[in-house]
Amino acid sequence: MVLFCPTCANILMVEEGPDSGLRYACNTCPYICNIIRKVSTRTYPKLKELDYIMGGAAAWENVDSTDAVCPKCGHRRAYFMQLQTRSADEPMTTFYRCCNHSCAHNWRD
Protein backbone atom coordinates (compact mmCIF):
# COMPACT_ATOMS: atom_id res chain seq x y z
CA MET A 1 0.00 0.00 0.00
CA VAL A 2 1.52 3.32 -1.06
CA LEU A 3 0.47 6.43 0.80
CA PHE A 4 0.97 10.02 -0.22
CA CYS A 5 1.33 13.11 1.92
CA PRO A 6 -1.97 15.00 2.27
CA THR A 7 -0.06 18.30 2.50
CA CYS A 8 2.37 18.17 -0.44
CA ALA A 9 1.37 14.94 -2.30
CA ASN A 10 4.86 13.37 -2.09
CA ILE A 11 5.24 9.71 -1.24
CA LEU A 12 5.39 8.89 2.48
CA MET A 13 8.31 6.89 3.82
CA VAL A 14 8.10 4.42 6.72
CA GLU A 15 10.51 5.17 9.56
CA GLU A 16 10.96 4.30 13.22
CA GLY A 17 9.43 6.76 15.64
CA PRO A 18 10.88 7.88 18.97
CA ASP A 19 8.77 5.32 20.90
CA SER A 20 10.18 2.45 18.75
CA GLY A 21 6.96 2.26 16.75
CA LEU A 22 6.65 2.82 13.02
CA ARG A 23 5.30 5.96 11.40
CA TYR A 24 4.78 7.51 7.98
CA ALA A 25 6.89 10.59 7.38
CA CYS A 26 7.19 12.99 4.48
CA ASN A 27 10.71 13.89 3.31
CA THR A 28 9.74 17.35 2.03
CA CYS A 29 7.38 18.70 4.70
CA PRO A 30 6.95 18.08 8.46
CA TYR A 31 3.94 15.73 8.07
CA ILE A 32 4.08 12.62 10.32
CA CYS A 33 1.42 9.95 10.90
CA ASN A 34 1.91 7.14 13.44
CA ILE A 35 1.09 3.61 12.31
CA ILE A 36 -1.27 2.15 14.87
CA ARG A 37 -1.99 -1.27 13.34
CA LYS A 38 -0.48 -3.62 10.82
CA VAL A 39 -2.65 -4.63 7.88
CA SER A 40 -1.22 -7.34 5.69
CA THR A 41 -2.81 -9.55 3.06
CA ARG A 42 -1.26 -11.73 0.42
CA THR A 43 -2.97 -13.03 -2.67
CA TYR A 44 -1.19 -15.72 -4.64
CA PRO A 45 -2.18 -16.15 -8.28
CA LYS A 46 -3.28 -19.58 -9.45
CA LEU A 47 -0.49 -21.19 -11.46
CA LYS A 48 -1.33 -22.37 -14.94
CA GLU A 49 -1.08 -26.05 -15.75
CA LEU A 50 1.81 -27.06 -18.00
CA ASP A 51 -0.55 -28.70 -20.53
CA TYR A 52 -2.68 -25.56 -20.70
CA ILE A 53 0.32 -23.40 -21.63
CA MET A 54 1.49 -25.77 -24.38
CA GLY A 55 -1.91 -26.32 -26.00
CA GLY A 56 -3.26 -29.31 -24.07
CA ALA A 57 -3.06 -32.99 -24.97
CA ALA A 58 -3.40 -32.26 -28.71
CA ALA A 59 0.02 -30.55 -28.71
CA TRP A 60 1.71 -33.93 -28.00
CA GLU A 61 0.05 -35.84 -30.90
CA ASN A 62 2.70 -35.37 -33.62
CA VAL A 63 5.95 -34.99 -31.70
CA ASP A 64 9.22 -36.94 -31.98
CA SER A 65 10.83 -39.04 -29.27
CA THR A 66 14.41 -39.04 -28.09
CA ASP A 67 16.71 -40.72 -25.57
CA ALA A 68 15.96 -39.05 -22.26
CA VAL A 69 15.60 -40.61 -18.80
CA CYS A 70 12.33 -39.85 -17.01
CA PRO A 71 13.09 -38.44 -13.53
CA LYS A 72 9.93 -40.09 -12.14
CA CYS A 73 9.96 -43.70 -13.46
CA GLY A 74 13.41 -44.05 -15.09
CA HIS A 75 12.06 -44.90 -18.57
CA ARG A 76 14.72 -44.17 -21.22
CA ARG A 77 12.53 -42.63 -23.99
CA ALA A 78 10.59 -39.38 -23.96
CA TYR A 79 8.58 -37.30 -26.38
CA PHE A 80 9.88 -33.75 -26.77
CA MET A 81 8.94 -30.36 -28.20
CA GLN A 82 10.69 -27.00 -28.18
CA LEU A 83 8.96 -23.70 -27.51
CA GLN A 84 10.23 -20.13 -27.36
CA THR A 85 9.20 -19.15 -23.83
CA ARG A 86 11.60 -16.24 -23.32
CA SER A 87 12.86 -13.43 -25.52
CA ALA A 88 14.19 -14.19 -28.98
CA ASP A 89 17.85 -13.93 -27.95
CA GLU A 90 17.40 -16.69 -25.32
CA PRO A 91 17.53 -20.39 -26.23
CA MET A 92 14.32 -22.37 -26.71
CA THR A 93 12.90 -24.39 -23.82
CA THR A 94 12.66 -28.16 -24.40
CA PHE A 95 9.63 -29.86 -22.87
CA TYR A 96 9.58 -33.65 -22.37
CA ARG A 97 6.85 -36.22 -21.72
CA CYS A 98 7.67 -39.78 -20.69
CA CYS A 99 6.91 -42.41 -23.38
CA ASN A 100 5.77 -44.82 -20.67
CA HIS A 101 1.98 -44.35 -20.93
CA SER A 102 1.38 -45.35 -17.32
CA CYS A 103 3.73 -42.53 -16.22
CA ALA A 104 3.35 -39.68 -18.79
CA HIS A 105 5.42 -37.39 -16.54
CA ASN A 106 6.13 -33.88 -17.94
CA TRP A 107 9.36 -31.98 -17.33
CA ARG A 108 11.49 -29.36 -19.03
CA ASP A 109 15.15 -28.83 -19.74
Do 28 and 60 lie in one domain? The reply is: no
Strands 77-83, 93-98: pairing is antiparallel
Q: How many C-alpha atoms does 79 have within 13 Å on its Cβ side?
A: 16
**Claim to verify: residue 23 and residue 72 sit in the same structural domain:** no
Same domain, 8 and 31: yes
* Residue 71 DSSP class: T
Residues 57 and 92 in one domain: yes
pLDDT tens for 64-106 read: 889 999 999 999 999 998 888 888 898 998 999 999 989 989 8
Annotated ligand binding at 98? The verdict is yes
Q: What is the largest CA-CA distance in the chain?
A: 69
pTM, two decimals, is 0.49
Exposure b/e, 16-29, CB count within 10 A at least 16 = b: eeeeeeebbbbeee
In this structure, the answer to whether residues 27 and 60 fall within a common structural domain is no
Instruction: Flag whether 99 is marked binding.
Output: no
Domain, as residue range, for 55: 50-108
Whether residue 26 is annotated as binding a ligand: the answer is yes
| 6 and 30 part of one domain | yes
